[in-house]
Structure 1
Amino acid sequence: MNYIVWAIPVFFLFIALEFLASKVEGKKVYRLNDSINDLSCGVLQQIISAFAKTILLGVYVLIYEIFAKNSWHIFHISSSVWMWIVLFILVDFLYYWAHRFSHTTAIGWAGHAIHHQSEEFNLAVALRQGTLQPFFTFLFFLPLAIIGFPPAMYLITKAANTLYQFWIHTRLINTMGPFEWVMNTPSHHRVHHGKNQHYIDKNYAGVFIIWDRLFGSFQQEDIHPAYGVTTPLNSWNPIWANASYFLHLGKLSLKSPFLVDKIKVWFMPPGWNPRNMEEDPAPSPDTLYDKYDPKIPMGISIYAVLHFAVVILATMYLLGSMGDMQHEKYTIATLIILSLINIGGFFDTKKWAVYFEVVRLYAIAIFITFFYKIAFLSIAMFVVATLCSIWINYYYRILRENNAFS
């Protein structure tokens, strides 16, 4: 996971550059609450992946080693330049089908919809990833282990495929001429994120747009896309972002009067309803909504951003030190997730966020005292927790008087 730790500052650098460039061009590309939520979903996904990599990568390694031990591999793969090129093309080809599965089956969409929930389109959105999506898509890449590509080659190539897709999440680059004939570009990917009727389920490509041209899923950008999903999430809670569609499918499955339909709910296309059930009116993809944008005081925004910066540092520390930590890594991960939930609660103007913030702050102070046993640091954290609690409760009284909290 070390490459991710090193990549995080680079991602933030390019996000900052895009933000400045958008200001120069007079375009409003970023909203603070939306971007923090994008990054919160990305942090959550990376934390869960750090703990789940034993399963996700372990299956690939196991299959590779079984085939290697019994000389069952289809090819003997060398580390030549040509083999790296072939693997890069194969990874992108399999990514296309994994991505298409994520849009055309309900369970796939439940894991992937998170990436599309943002009503903006910028480089921060590139980092907004579904926490459970890898559990549904890693199976698509197992044929590479059967063919004989070593795990290290696969990991590096898969990372390169993912990193390529970062830069195409921008509105500041228009069309790119002949480059667009073969490669995925910002224009092509804006279509993919559009919720306009003729943009839905188009341009699944990761690197090479040629797959969409070959398999009938290509759409040229012809109008400015409206971004987001057809039923807006209307929340800055990263847990709810990941869980909402799974809960929707679970309710449909439980309500279905037929056993077959209880299962089909998960594997039919999104929006499918079981037999003999009253259908909820599906919103038109072209319906325009006001963007979810609850207003909070500048003071709380600054407070939330500062604490989110601490969360990013804690995440980098966790990802970079996973192998060196024992029980504390689970506590750190839990505190990070609780922090993400509460930061989202502030941007959602939730009353419970004020009360829960006090619990969160003292939980961090207790954790530092218990695990690190540094007297000065422990005292400092309890002082900070107390001051922050007093400050946030002061703001709460003002907001309560103005009925600003929901």
Structure 2
Amino acid sequence: MEPNLPDVVLWSIPAFVLLTVVEMVSVRFHPDEDAAGYEKKDAATSVGMGLGSLVFDFVWKIPIVAVYTAVYELTPLRIPVLWWTVPLMLLGQDFFYYWSHRGHHVIRILWACHVVHHSSRKFNLTTALRQPWTSLTVWPFYVPLIALGVHPAALAFCSSANLVYQFWVHTERIDKLPRPFEYVLNTPSHHRVHHASQGGYLDRNFGGILILWDRWFGSFTAETERPVFGLTKNIATHNPLRVATHEYAAILRDVRAASSWGERAGRVFRGPGWAPAAAPVPEPERVA
């Protein structure tokens, strides 16, 4: 029997709108010259990417639900949806979210999906809405939860709750929180590091709700210097289609230009910045 769980994202939309307006007013009347702030075209692009993701996620949901349902029917395990099991499911989903998020930073074909979320040089609540249109790469990371007996609808609820939580951490208007919160939770300070393009901040702080995973698995970095947001190679476009697909196009160009099958595989499955080692330049012959 499918559990009856609320649509967390739908119920949160009024809060999203209200908080975004509050942040805009705050920036308008109390600007910070060093902060990323708002820019109309950038914010419009982020909102457009978010609306587009709702459409594409609905399409991708069809095959994903089919796979999850098949796995759920095959496993003999069942975890009921009870007041005390839901927090455990949320914990499990957040754990696998960490590995999914980390994987989408270190494998280029996965990064091609996730790069959309990092493509803005601004960091505000509309940045949270800048979501990819090719999220079909995410589902394999959660198969273990389904195999353990978590109903697909319960997983969808937990994933939505995780997504909603992360909305508020996309802001520069909140400084560091008291130490206990900063130690356990993903906060605006931790997530600013995650969106920064400086070398010491790259590929850090992957946690969704909890930052504990980063502390335990060696990917945590505290915010010290002010972050510079965006990509190491920024894109100069507000066209949603190009924002959604620019890294796939770059992969295709690199694969076409590759000189071997090993290089082609590396361009797809190694890290986003990977390139084959340059051949050593032979030393000139010496005349006795």
Contact 2:9 2:160 in 1 (8 A): no
Instruction: Give TM-score scaled by structure 2 length.
Output: 0.89
User: What's the CA shift for 1:129?
Assistant: 0.8
Percent identity over the alignment is 33
Gaps of 5+ in 1: 278-406
Q: Summarize deviations over 1:102-145 as a string: whole Å, max 9, x none.
A: 1111111111011001011000000101111x211110001111
User: What's the CA shift for 1:4?
Assistant: 4.2
Q: Does 1:32 align with 2:40?
A: yes
Equivalent residue, structure 1, for 2:231? 229
Equivalent residue, structure 1, for 2:22? 17
Q: Take 2:201 and 2:254, find their aligned partners in 1: how far apart are those partners?
A: 27
Equivalent residue, structure 1, for 2:267? 265
Q: Does 1:62 align with 2:63?
A: no
SS at match of 1:165: helix
Q: Which has the higher helix share?
A: 1
Q: Take 1:54 and 1:121, find their aligned partners in 2: how far apart are those partners?
A: 32
1:284-363 equivalent positions in 2, closer than 5 A? none
Q: 1:245 aligns with which of 244, 247, 254?
A: 247
Assess, with a 3 A threshold, how the Cα gap between structure 1 residues 93 and 3 changes in structure 2: closer, same or farther.
Answer: closer
Contact 1:87 1:157 in 2 (8 A): yes
Q: Take 1:40 and 1:109, find their aligned partners in 2: how far apart are those partners?
A: 20
Equivalent residue, structure 1, for 2:55? 47
Q: Summarize deviations over 1:276-320 as a string: whole Å, max 9, x none.
A: 69xxxxxxxxxxxxxxxxxxxxxxxxxxxxxxxxxxxxxxxxxxx
Equivalent residue, structure 2, for 1:294? none
Contact 2:8 2:157 in 1 (8 A): no
Gaps of 5+ in 2: 1-5, 280-288
Q: Summarize deviations over 1:318-364 as a string: whole Å, max 9, x none.
A: xxxxxxxxxxxxxxxxxxxxxxxxxxxxxxxxxxxxxxxxxxxxxxx
**Alignment RMSD:** 1.7
Q: Summarize deviations over 1:213-233 as a string: whole Å, max 9, x none.
A: 001110000011000001111
Greater radius of gyration (CA) = 1
Q: Does 1:157 align with 2:163?
A: no
Equivalent residue, structure 2, for 1:148? 149
User: What's the CA shift for 1:82?
Assistant: 2.4
Q: Does 1:185 align with 2:190?
A: no
SS at match of 1:236: coil
Q: Summarize deviations over 1:347-404 as a string: whole Å, max 9, x none.
A: xxxxxxxxxxxxxxxxxxxxxxxxxxxxxxxxxxxxxxxxxxxxxxxxxxxxxxxxxx
AA of the residue aligned to 2:73: E
Q: Take 1:197 and 1:276, find their aligned partners in 2: how far apart are those partners?
A: 22
Instruction: Give TM-score scaled by structure 1 length.
Output: 0.64
SS at match of 1:87: helix
User: What's the CA shift for 1:23?
Assistant: 2.2
1:112-131 equivalent positions in 2, closer than 5 A? 112-131=114-133
Equivalent residue, structure 2, for 1:365? none
Q: Take 1:158 and 1:265, find their aligned partners in 2: how far apart are those partners?
A: 30
User: What's the CA shift for 1:41?
Assistant: 1.1
Contact 1:252 1:273 in 2 (8 A): no
Q: Which has the higher contact order (CA 8 A, sep 6+)?
A: 2
Q: Summarize deviations over 1:130-186 as a string: whole Å, max 9, x none.
A: 111x21111000111100011221111111111100000010110111210110100
Contact 2:89 2:158 in 1 (8 A): yes
SS at match of 1:142: helix
Equivalent residue, structure 2, for 1:321? none
Q: Take 2:225 and 2:274, find their aligned partners in 1: how far apart are those partners?
A: 28
Q: Take 2:11 and 2:100, find their aligned partners in 1: how far apart are those partners?
A: 27
Equivalent residue, structure 2, for 1:323? none
Q: Summarize deviations over 1:72-95 as a string: whole Å, max 9, x none.
A: x2xx41222221111111100000
User: What's the CA shift for 1:8?
Assistant: 3.3
AA of the residue aligned to 2:29: V
Q: Take 1:11 and 1:144, find their aligned partners in 2: how far apart are those partners?
A: 29
AA of the residue aligned to 1:16: V
1:91-110 equivalent positions in 2, closer than 5 A? 91-110=93-112
